[in-house]
Amino acid sequence: MHYKKVKPKKLYEQVADIIEQQIISEQLHPGEKIESVEQLAKHFDVGRPAVREALTSLQAKGMLEIRHGEGTFVRNYSAEDIQFHIPSSLLFDKQQIKNIFEIRKILELGLIENAANYRTETHINTLRETLHDMEQSVYEANISGEADILFHRTISEAANNSLLVTMLQNVSNTIAQQIIQTRELLSHTNKNALLQLHQEHLEIFHAIEKQDSQLARKSMAKHLSTVEALLSIHLESDYFSNYQKYSI
């Protein structure tokens, strides 16, 4: 019998679990504003990217509502909302991972122009902070990977379409571990590729900041092509082949 290896939860998942339990146990009530990212990071002794990722994942589950410029609030929820949440830890083979990435490309290229048109100063500030966190930890796979995921999710939020945010969240959950593991592989084999990824994130940011929707789409397309190429290398590496089935 083949058993999937048990992996420790990422920092943002641990933070999300604690906040979720506080909501379920009614320590946090519907409509209540929770503490800021900075305060939560200090309480949990983790980086801001991990907190932001935790809040975003709970927003996708319908438990929190992030109001830009106001804060994060507990939403009304039902037991069914939690019971039928799609788990993020599943087994996928190489072709399924490639298929999932194709969905991600369609979604991100579809929303990037709206993100450039509708972004607010709050979005710009969040993207700028995320880029700073990414740059400071470019060779630390877990931290930079979580910042990478948050960068793209912030762009989806800027597109001003809550359904797209949820759809991208569901897709991103299934490839989040792949992003981190690919970054880990690159940190040992191709550090220049990590610097290239950061430069491409900067190009996307500047296009959104200038509200140049066409340049934003072009920059995102270039970035996703780079990620796809790196993903192909990762899937063909010994790191992946040793497991045959991919746990994400």
The residue with greater pLDDT, 75 or 7, is 75
What percent of the chain has pLDDT above 70?
80
Which pLDDT does position 85 carry in this prediction? 44
DSSP state of 76: P
Instruction: Answer yes or no: is 124 within a domain.
Output: yes
Nearest Cα residue to 244 out of 91, 86, 114: 91
- In angstroms, the first-to-last Cα distance of the chain is 20
Mean pLDDT computed over every residue of the chain: 81
Grouping H, G, I as helix, E, B as strand and the rest as coil, residue 202 is: helix
For residue 2, report the phi and psi dihedrals to the nearest 5 degrees. -95, 125
Instruction: Answer yes or no: is 4 within a domain.
Output: no
* Signed CA dihedral, 41, 66, 211, 50: sign only: positive
| Same domain, residue pair 228 and 107 | yes
Tokens at residue 187, please? 């940190």
Q: How far is CA 134 from CA 18, 46, 142, in A?
A: 25, 15, 10
Query: How many other CB atoms are there within 10 angstroms of residue 53's CB atom?
Result: 26
Q: Exposed, middle or buried, 214 (CB in 10 Å: 0-12/13-18/19+)?
A: exposed
Q: How far is CA 246 from CA 5, 89, 206, in A?
A: 10, 10, 35
Give yes or no for residue 159 having a pLDDT over 80.
yes
In DSSP terms, 91 is beta-bridged to: 247
The whole-model pTM stands at 0.64
| Same domain, residue pair 37 and 159 | no
Give yes or no for residue 34 having a pLDDT over 80.
yes
Instruction: Answer yes or no: is 216 within a domain.
Output: yes
| Same domain, residue pair 95 and 76 | no
Q: Which residues does 88 contact at the CB level (< 8 Å), separation at least 6?
A: 173, 174, 176, 248
Identify the weakest region by mean pLDDT among 30-39, 56-65, 96-105, 219-228: 96-105
Give yes or no for residue 93 having a pLDDT over 70.
no
190-205 pLDDT, tens digit per residue, is: 889 999 999 999 999 9
How far apart (Å, rounded) are the C-alpha atoms in residues 184 and 73?
34
CATH number for the domain harbouring residue 40: 1.10.10.10
Instruction: Answer yes or no: is 2 within a domain.
Output: no
Domain holding 226, by residue range, is 88-247
Q: How many domains does the chain have?
A: 2
Grouping H, G, I as helix, E, B as strand and the rest as coil, residue 74 is: strand
H or E segment and range at residue 64: strand 64-67
